[in-house]
Amino acid sequence: MAHYVFVVLDYFPYVLFVYILMSWFPGAYETGFGRFLSKICEPVLAPFRKIIPPIGGVLDLSPIIAFFAIRMATFGLQYLVYNYILPIVV
C-alpha cells in the first residue's frame, strides 16, 4: 500500500508541471485533458494560492511552493515508513 502512495507522490510533480505548461496555450484548460488535470491539480494548488497571492497579479509562485512541499512530504513519509513502520512490521 505504501508503495502506491510513493508512486503517486513521485509522479504528481510531473502532472503538475504539465498543468502549469498548459497555461501557455490558449484554451488548453477547456479541453477534456485540461479539465481532468484541473480536477487533480487545483485542490493541491488552492491552499498555496491562499497563502501566496500572485505577484503583480500575473506571476503565480504557488506551483513552485507546491513542488517543494510535495517533495518534502515524500521524503518525510519515506523516512517514517522505512525507519519506523517497516522495522516494526517485519
Quick count: other Cβ atoms within 10 Å of Cβ 49?
16
What pLDDT does residue 78 have? 87
Average pLDDT over residues 50-79: 90
Record the pTM. Answer: 0.80
What pLDDT does residue 82 have? 84
Provide the residue range defining the domain that includes 51: 2-89
Reading the block at residue 7, the C-alpha cell is: 508512486
The domain total for the chain is 1
What pLDDT does residue 19 have? 94
- pLDDT at residue 90 tops 70: no
